[in-house]
């Protein structure tokens, strides 16, 4: 565990009397880093302030004598505090997603809903696709986000231009059947998805969004996916 904590960027943490407030820390850190800060929150750990900016969390003391970039672990519970906070801070308004740009699949009653951002050449996306076919009573909106290679864009265009987008997607991701579409239709939705991904600070595929707005980066076990979908559905009732 200690080896995992070592990559923190830490410079001379000095204890100071608690004189600063969140507004003054925000102003100082924006000047120091030259970037807009989304939020500043006093943490319950070592007098540190949590800084959320550019889709990342860093920590600093009230005098900015230290800037810590890395994972904060609660010493008693050993829970990943940074990951839990990131899940909350990076949440979106799910209903604002442009679902017309996504490949839609409905299984069963379709009551549980998720949205994924995926690259057709992403190995973890293919694993997720194989797991998703095991789900029932779910609607999946898959946003094609070709960021890995020129071939990713070509395959995305072919899938988008297929007469049955969902079938073309699953044929490729699950069964390895190369898309047969020509890719010569209006594919502006794919470019708009890439731009949307940048605005949402999506840095890798797959990224999964739930109806409560929270996200999970990367493929997750089916049991975890089921649990989170049910929690999000209950929260929306």
Q: What is the pLDDT of residues 27-75, one digit of tens each?
A: 999 999 899 999 999 999 999 999 999 889 999 999 999 999 989 999 9
The three-state secondary structure class of 128 is: helix
pLDDT at 227: 92
Contact of 17 with 6, CB cutoff 8 Å: no
The residue with greater pLDDT, 67 or 236, is 67
Task: Provide the pLDDT confidence category of residue 7 given band limits of 50, 70 and 90.
Answer: very low
Q: Is the confidence at residue 87, as pLDDT, over 80?
A: yes
How many angstroms separate the Cα of 122 from the Cα of each of 126, 134, 156, 195?
A: 6, 19, 12, 19
Q: What is the pLDDT of residues 150-190, one digit of tens each?
A: 999 999 999 999 999 999 999 999 999 999 878 889 999 99
pTM: 0.78
Among 12, 49, 43, which residue's Cα sits nearest to residue 28? 49
Contact of 161 with 184, CB cutoff 8 Å: yes
- Retrieve residue 127's tokens: 């694993």
pLDDT at 105: 96
Among 161, 168, 172, 115, which residue's Cα sits nearest to residue 138? 115
Instruction: Find the range with the poorest average confidence among 11-25, 129-143, 196-210, 219-233.
Output: 11-25
Q: How many CB atoms lie within 10 A of CB 191?
A: 13
Q: What is the pLDDT of residues 111-143, one digit of tens each?
A: 999 999 999 999 999 999 999 988 999 999 999
Contact of 141 with 114, CB cutoff 8 Å: yes
Domain 2-89 has CATH 3.30.420.40: no
Q: Is the confidence at residue 200, as pLDDT, over 90?
A: yes
What CATH homologous superfamily does 94-235 map to? Answer: Glutaredoxin (3.40.30.10)
d(CA 210, CA 136): 16
Q: Is the confidence at residue 13, as pLDDT, over 50?
A: no
How many angstroms separate the Cα of 160 from the Cα of each of 32, 128, 174, 184, 235?
A: 44, 19, 17, 10, 33
- Retrieve residue 62's tokens: 């009230």
- The domain locations on the chain are 2-89, 94-235
Containing 104, the helix (H) or strand (E) segment is strand 103-107
Among 95, 155, 100, which residue's Cα sits nearest to residue 125? 155
List b or e across 208-228, with b for residues whose CB sees 16 or more CB atoms inside 10 angstroms. Answer: bbbbbbbbbbebbeeeebbeb
Among 54, 72, 55, 52, which residue's Cα sits nearest to residue 9? 72
């Amino acid at each position: 565990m200690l080896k995992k904590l070592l990559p923190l960027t830490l410079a001379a943490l000095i204890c100071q009397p608690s004189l600063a407030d969140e507004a003054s820390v925000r102003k100082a850190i924006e000047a120091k880093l030259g970037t807009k800060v989304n939020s500043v929150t006093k943490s319950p750990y070592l007098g540190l302030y949590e800084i959320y900016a550019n889709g990342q969390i860093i920590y600093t003391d009230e005098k900015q004598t230290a800037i810590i970039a890395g994972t904060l672990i609660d010493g008693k519970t050993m829970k990943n505090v940074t990951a839990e906070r990131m899940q909350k801070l990076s949440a979106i308004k799910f209903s604002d997603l442009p679902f017309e740009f996504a490949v839609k699949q409905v299984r069963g009653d379709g009551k549980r809903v998720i949205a994924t951002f995926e690259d057709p050449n992403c190995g973890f996306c293919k694993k997720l696709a194989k797991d998703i076919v095991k789900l029932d009573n779910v609607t999946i909106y898959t946003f094609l986000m070709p960021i890995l290679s020129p071939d990713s864009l070509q395959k995305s265009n072919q899938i988008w231009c297929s007469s049955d987008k969902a079938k073309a997607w699953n044929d490729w991701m699950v069964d390895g059947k190369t898309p047969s579409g020509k890719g010569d239709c209006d594919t502006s939705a794919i470019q708009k998805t890439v731009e949307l991904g940048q605005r949402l600070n999506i840095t890798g595929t797959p990224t999964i969004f739930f109806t409560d707005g929270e996200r999970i980066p990367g493929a997750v076990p089916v049991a975890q996916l089921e649990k989170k979908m049910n929690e999000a559905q209950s929260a929306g009732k």
